[in-house]
Amino acid sequence: MSTNPDTGQTPDITAVPFGDSALMISLASGTVEERQAGSRRLREILLDVRPYGLQDVVAGVDSLLVEFDCLAVGHEQLAQTIRLASAGRFQENTGLTKDTKHFVIPMVVNDAYAPDLDEVASELGISREAVLDHLQDSLLSINLLASAMAPMMGTVQFPGQVSRCKEPRTNVDPGSVMVAGTNAIIQPFPGPTGWKVIGRTPLTICDIREDPPTSYTPGDTVRFTVVPESEWEQLEGRFLMTDSYPMERAR
């Protein structure tokens, strides 16, 4: 990762105007994992510093949409403020940096729960079993919470990119484990999707009756493990926590 020569700690930050009152912020260099982690760290810094005119910071996979009051500050001025705010702080261990939690998420794979598994296997040129092996062997990081607080995770160590469905589904069951590109996501509630479904977890990953409604946040890590259908009834509806599925039972 390219760093500021003066501090040795601040990566190169790209700031692109996004309409009249927003900037798309990203790191100019580094691996995918470094850019994703850097984006999360930069969001922490901005929410702590709260530059003048800042209104909101919306996380992307490896970028941030920084919304601001265009009557209070301009694109170039805010971009420079962001660079200055992050100088010397990017690799600090601050009170904002939380302990990373790790989740083991069981998933069941059958014809009903994994309707796209054969298509994903064909697209990648590997077997169904190999697709699941790659998923289970990958330690995934939650990059952001998407619609309905769905955890978007990367990076699955597939041998290629998985395309999205040609025709999106109008309704997918909650708990569906889905992939696109080299990312994975879990459907928290019934709803439409264009991602390919390769399994389903019996756990409840988001529950509005809980406080907070999810036990995971961006930066946490996930490992999937395929379990037999016989375990579904025992696990069904259990709220996802770090101890929801014993780590020693995971692959």
Same domain? 39 vs 111: no
pLDDT of residue 100: 85
Give 176's contacts (C-beta < 8 A, 6+ positions apart): 113, 186, 187, 193, 197, 199, 200
Same domain? 74 vs 155: no
Is residue 91 in some structural domain? Answer: no
- How many angstroms separate the CA atoms of 123 and 245, rounded? 31
Same domain? 198 vs 107: yes
Q: Residue 84: in which H helix or E strand, if any?
A: helix 75-86
Give 122's contacts (C-beta < 8 A, 6+ positions apart): none
CA dihedral 14, 15, 17, 21 (to 10 degrees): 160
Encoded tokens for 118: 């054969």
Q: What is the DSSP letter of 242?
A: T
Structural domain including 18 reads 13-86
Is residue 186 in some structural domain? Answer: yes
Same domain? 143 vs 106: yes
Whole-Å CA distances, 184 to 138, 139, 248: 11, 11, 23
pLDDT of residue 91: 61
pLDDT of residue 1: 37
Residue type, 151: P
Taking residue 175's Cβ as centre, other Cβ atoms within 10 Å add up to 25
Q: CATH number for the domain including 177?
A: 2.40.100.10
- How many angstroms separate the CA atoms of 202 and 236, rounded? 4
Match 């014993």 to its residue by tokens: 246
Is residue 175 in some structural domain? Answer: yes
pLDDT of residue 92: 62
pLDDT of residue 164: 95
Please answer whether residues 247 and 104 qualify as being in contact, where contact means their C-beta atoms are separated by less than 8 angstroms: yes
Q: Number of structural domains, the chain? A: 2
Give the residue ranges of the chain where pLDDT is below 50: 1-8, 94-97
Q: What is the pTM of this model?
A: 0.74
Positions of E strands within the chain? 13-17, 22-27, 54-59, 63-68, 102-107, 140-145, 151-154, 169-172, 176-180, 183-186, 191-193, 196-200, 221-226
pLDDT of residue 249: 62
Same domain? 82 vs 206: no
Which residue blocks in 17-56 are alpha helix, DSSP H? Answer: 32-49
Radius of gyration of the chain (CA): 20
pLDDT of residue 3: 42
pLDDT of residue 9: 53
Same domain? 40 vs 113: no
Same domain? 49 vs 121: no
Encode pLDDT of 112-123 as tens digits. Answer: 999 999 999 999
Is residue 3 in some structural domain? Answer: no
Is residue 140 in some structural domain? Answer: yes
Encode pLDDT of 39-75 as tens digits. Answer: 888 888 888 888 899 998 887 778 888 999 999 999 9
Same domain? 117 vs 39: no
Same domain? 109 vs 225: yes
pLDDT of residue 40: 81
Say whether 92 sits in a helix, a strand or coil.
coil
Same domain? 78 vs 109: no
pLDDT of residue 7: 38
Is residue 150 in some structural domain? Answer: yes
Same domain? 141 vs 229: yes
Q: CATH number for the domain including 78?
A: 3.30.1360.40
Is residue 125 in some structural domain? Answer: yes
Is residue 45 in some structural domain? Answer: yes
Same domain? 80 vs 140: no
Of 39, 56, 86, which one is at a domain's C-terminal end?
86
Whole-Å CA distances, 7 to 10, 80, 86: 7, 16, 11
